[in-house]
Amino acid sequence: MTRFSVLDLVPVREGGTLEQAFAATASLARAAEAAGCHRFWIAEHHAMEGIAGGATAVVLAHIGHATRSIRIGSGGIMLPNHTPFQIAEQFGTLAALFPARVDLGLGRAPGAGPELQRALRKDLHRAAEMFPQDVAELRALLTGEPALPIRATPGHGAGVELWMLGSSLFGAQLAARLGLPYAFASHFAPDQLDAALALYRRDFTPSGALERPHVMVAMNLFAEESAEEAETLASSQLQAFVRLRTGTPGKLPPPIAGYRETLPPQARMLLDHVGQASAIGTPAEAAAQVRAFIARTGADEVIFAGATFDPAARERSLALTMAQLADAGAGS
């Protein structure tokens, strides 16, 4: 049975505040829970004016208290930014606060220039090279196997579900070797999706956590009553992506009708390429695109990304699509 989940970056909108961004994220998590979604994940980003999820564990505590049953987790924690011991303590704390609800998705990409490296007091590129060893150490801190000279409290024995994240073959290889579930960031990096999933499934080694391969894929989701309205809804995120790729990131901008048509051909090609893992249209059209992506990937889970300028519009988009997927039996 295919499960559906939500990935949020805690977007800060033009003219909006951090307080409003955190309130909107909590509201979205409640809407995801009401719609029948399985997980609600927050992604770690730093020093970006338009993204407020940097203190990921703190945001997850906020989400946990705002919801009742939906799993909460990181999509993901960039482990090179931290020490395994710190993350074991943070997610051990979350697991104690929200038993049987906490996921810990791990990523390798440092994604940081020299200024952030200095601020974090880390050589992030060297830390990225240590990623496989740090993942193994973090798992040992949480499970107690193998035993380490130091015990994380909270952390030791915490019921945290570990995930490996990736957008390349590296994460797929490591997830297969460690016997972890694997989530692919196809919503912004679709190029190696099929090759990574094939490698992961071929080389998967069963572990104490997982007996068989388990795949999650990410999609952007924008549904409205008409296809034109859905495209306008998506335009805030499309603008943000173009601005990021052209070196001018900022807060999430308001939507623009016909935005793609205003762009030069190169920018349009960029959006078309990145948008391979997107569902944009009426609820029925969006659900059909989701089902087609599941058929292509054989995914066990789909996680929906897609920031909207109006937070209520994202909640409505999710609810309408989830209803269509349920009616069509997409989860079976």
Mean pLDDT value across the chain: 95
Instruction: Look at residue 265 in the predicted model and tell me its pLDDT.
Output: 95
What is the model's pTM? 0.96
Domain extent listing, the chain = 3-328
Per-residue pLDDT tens over the stretch 170-180: 999 999 999 99
Q: What is the 3-state secondary structure (H, E, C) of 233-301?
A: HHHHHHHHHHHHHCCCCCCECCCCCCHHHHCCHHHHHHHHHHHHHEEEECHHHHHHHHHHHHHHHCCCE
Instruction: Give the CATH number of domain 3-328; options: 3.20.20.30, 3.40.630.40, 1.50.10.20, 3.30.9.10.
Output: 3.20.20.30
- The answer to whether residue 331 scores a pLDDT higher than 70 is no
- Asked whether 75 and 7 are in contact (CB, 8 A), the reply is yes
Per-residue pLDDT tens over the stretch 101-149: 999 999 998 656 778 888 888 888 788 899 999 999 999 999 999 999 9
Q: What percent of the chain has pLDDT over 70?
A: 98
Instruction: Look at residue 332 in the predicted model and tell me its pLDDT.
Output: 45
Per-residue pLDDT tens over the stretch 215-242: 999 999 999 999 999 999 999 999 999 9
